[in-house]
Structure 1
Amino acid sequence: PDLETVKFKVLSRRGQYEIREVESYFIAETTMPGRTGFDLNGASRSFNVLAEYLFGKNTKRETMEMTTPVITRKTQSDGEKMEMTTPVISKKLEDQDKWQMSFVMPSKYGANLPLPKDPSVRIKEVPKKVVAVVAFSGFVTDEDVKRRELKLRDALKGDRQFRVKEGASVEVAQYNPPFTLPFTRRNEIALEVERKEE
């Protein structure tokens, strides 16, 4: 079935990446165990914690629809069941050496999401933003993310309109279930950008 996903508008396409304006959305987020955002055991545990919230371990005992993607976010820093959405997102907290995984919440709830019963799950609103995105297939690894992030940052240095926003950290969006064949998997890395001053 087609799953709800984050809404965005493509502002421009470059050779290696595209610039998107992403609408605001809500996430359910948890801190991942271990030192990597893409180790199978840690990712599975975090995915299951978030799935339990989505499928009823919440104050309304409501089942929500799955969405896409699952997002893993790396940051650089000093129940009611719902529909599943994609992506799942993960981020890394540099000062704690931890990654965050998040599920995008179904848009119909807005700020009225049921509260999680598990204290390790946090609900947050992600504000509207502009990002540079590179799509790729295959399984995601830490090394691959680092390589692709450096390549995207380097490409953006030559962009005449946009630059990487100060403090921006890489975000990895994974759109497929774990059992999807590597060559058919849809993944993206994104960095928040801002318009250059004229």
Structure 2
Amino acid sequence: MAIEKPDYKVIQNYGKVEIREYKPMVIAKTNVHQSYEAAQSEGFRRIANYIFGGNDKKMSIAMTAPVISRKLSTDLEEHEILFVMPKEYAKSMLPQPILDHVKLEERSLNRVAVIQFGGWATQDRVADYQKKLETRINELSLSKIGNFMVAQYNSPWALPPFRHNEILVQIK
């Protein structure tokens, strides 16, 4: 059985960079004030708790992909980690998280530029691919909106040659 992913349409393909249009989605999110690697782990743990029954209805919710993260500030170790909820659920249908750190919201990524890469999404590799994406965005005379996001599609046990990651940023 395939893991559900958010719906999007590829608007334009520029070699290694795609321009996509995403449909609105419901997310479960948490903010973590830690280093990149620690924030990934802690954020995942918090939201996994929610989808595996840590909610007011003790309801399990299917895992989707990717897990998305973004740094909220350039000079602070503040990260937002989010899971996209299955399409079958409107926000009003979802149970409330037990943990105060986990929030539900409707999110619209709209139009984004995306670059894909394999292996581990380490802080150094993420920074490298962010630079590559930013360079290509500038070459295409596009403007980025907000901070870059990291999308990780695989379980922590997937071997590096089989991993699929993306860097995304909203554009106008």
For the aligned pair, the TM-score class normalised by the smaller chain equals: over 0.9
Cα displacement string for residues 146-165 of structure 1 (whole angstroms, at most 9, x for unaligned residues) = 121111111111215xx123
1:96 CA drift (Å): 4.0
Cα distance in 1 for residues equivalent to 2:39 and 2:127: 19
Letter in 2 for 1:101: I
Q: Does 1:29 align with 2:29?
A: yes
1:16 CA drift (Å): 2.4
Does the Cα contact within 8 Å between 1:30 and 1:102 map onto a contact in 2?
yes
Q: How does 1:145-184 map to 2 (within 5 A)?
A: 145-159=126-140, 163-166=142-145, 168-184=146-162
Q: How does 1:100-115 map to 2 (within 5 A)?
A: 100-112=80-92, 113-115=94-96
SS in structure 2 at match of 1:144: helix
Cα distance in 1 for residues equivalent to 2:115 and 2:7: 17
Q: How does 1:93-132 map to 2 (within 5 A)?
A: 93-94=73-74, 96-112=76-92, 113-132=94-113
SS in structure 1 at match of 2:97: coil
Q: How does 1:51-62 map to 2 (within 5 A)?
A: 51-62=48-59
Identify if the C-alpha distance between structure 1 residues 149 and 106 changes in structure 2 by more than 3 Å, giving closer, same or farther. Answer: same
Does the Cα contact within 8 Å between 1:153 and 1:164 map onto a contact in 2?
no
Does the Cα contact within 8 Å between 1:17 and 1:133 map onto a contact in 2?
yes
SS in structure 2 at match of 1:148: helix
Cα distance in 2 for residues equivalent to 1:182 and 1:43: 17
Cα distance in 2 for residues equivalent to 1:156 and 1:42: 27
Does the Cα contact within 8 Å between 1:164 and 1:191 map onto a contact in 2?
no
Does the Cα contact within 8 Å between 2:68 and 2:150 map onto a contact in 1?
yes
1:95 CA drift (Å): 5.6
Unaligned runs of 5+ in 2: none
In the other structure, the counterpart of 1:45 is 42
Identify if the C-alpha distance between structure 1 residues 58 and 29 changes in structure 2 by more than 3 Å, giving closer, same or farther. Answer: same
Unaligned runs of 5+ in 1: 76-92
Share of identical aligned residues, percent?
A: 35
Letter in 2 for 1:104: V
Q: Does 1:69 align with 2:49?
A: no
Cα distance in 1 for residues equivalent to 2:81 and 2:4: 18
More strand by share: 1
Cα distance in 1 for residues equivalent to 2:139 and 2:45: 41
Does the Cα contact within 8 Å between 1:6 and 1:104 map onto a contact in 2?
yes
Query: Normalization by structure 2: what TM-score?
Result: 0.92
Cα distance in 2 for residues equivalent to 1:94 and 1:116: 29
